[in-house]
Amino acid sequence: MTPNGIISRRDTEEASSAGSRNSGRPTRDEAAALPARILDAAQELFLAQGFEATTLDQIAAGAGATKRTLYVKIGDKAELFAHVVRRMLDLRREKLNDTAVSGSPKDRLVRFGESVLAIALDPDVLRLYRLLVAEAPRFPALASLMEEQMTRGARARLAELLRDENRRNRLVLQDPELAAELLLTTIVWAPQRAVLFGAAPWGPARCGRWVRAAVGLFLDGCQTGTRADRDR
Instruction: Output the domain CATH number for residue 193.
Output: 1.10.357.10
pLDDT surpassing 80 at residue 7: no
Q: 80 and 125, same structural domain? A: no
Q: Each residue of 149-166: pLDDT tens digit?
A: 666 688 888 999 999 999
- Rg of the chain over Cα atoms, rounded to whole angstroms, equals 22
Select from 53, 88, 123 the last residue of a domain.
88
Residue 108 lies in a domain: yes
Domain of residue 84: give its range: 9-88
Residue 17 lies in a domain: yes
Q: 74 and 118, same structural domain? A: no
Residue 63 lies in a domain: yes
Q: 129 and 112, same structural domain? A: yes
Q: 102 and 79, same structural domain? A: no
pLDDT surpassing 50 at residue 138: yes
Select from 43, 62, 88 the last residue of a domain.
88
Name residue 171's beta-bridge partners.
Answer: 223
Question: What is the model's pLDDT at position 21?
Answer: 46
What's the pLDDT band for 1 if we cut at 50, 70, 90?
Answer: very low
Number of domains making up the chain: 2
Question: What is the model's pLDDT at position 99?
Answer: 55
| Average predicted confidence (pLDDT) for the chain | 81
Q: 130 and 70, same structural domain? A: no
Residue 4 lies in a domain: no
Residue 106 lies in a domain: yes
Residue 3 lies in a domain: no
Beta-carbon count within 10 A of 60 CB: 20
Residue 31 lies in a domain: yes
Residue 70 lies in a domain: yes
Select from 88, 112, 130 the last residue of a domain.
88
Q: 209 and 103, same structural domain? A: yes
Q: 76 and 153, same structural domain? A: no
pTM (whole model) above 0.85 = no
Q: Please state, in angstroms and as integers, the Cα–Cα distance from residue 33 to each residue in 26, 49, 84, 170, following that order.
A: 11, 25, 15, 47
Q: Average pLDDT for residues 50-77, to the nearest whole number? A: 90
Which one, of 54, 23, 25, 22, lies nearest residue 38 by Cα? 54
Q: 142 and 75, same structural domain? A: no
Q: Each residue of 10-43: pLDDT tens digit?
A: 444 444 444 444 444 557 766 678 889 999 999 9
Q: 104 and 39, same structural domain? A: no
Q: Each residue of 179-222: pLDDT tens digit?
A: 999 999 999 999 999 998 888 889 999 999 999 999 999 999 87
Q: Which helix (H) or strand (E) holds 53?
A: helix 28-53
Question: What is the model's pLDDT at position 143?
Answer: 65
Question: What is the model's pLDDT at position 86?
Answer: 85
Question: What is the model's pLDDT at position 5?
Answer: 41
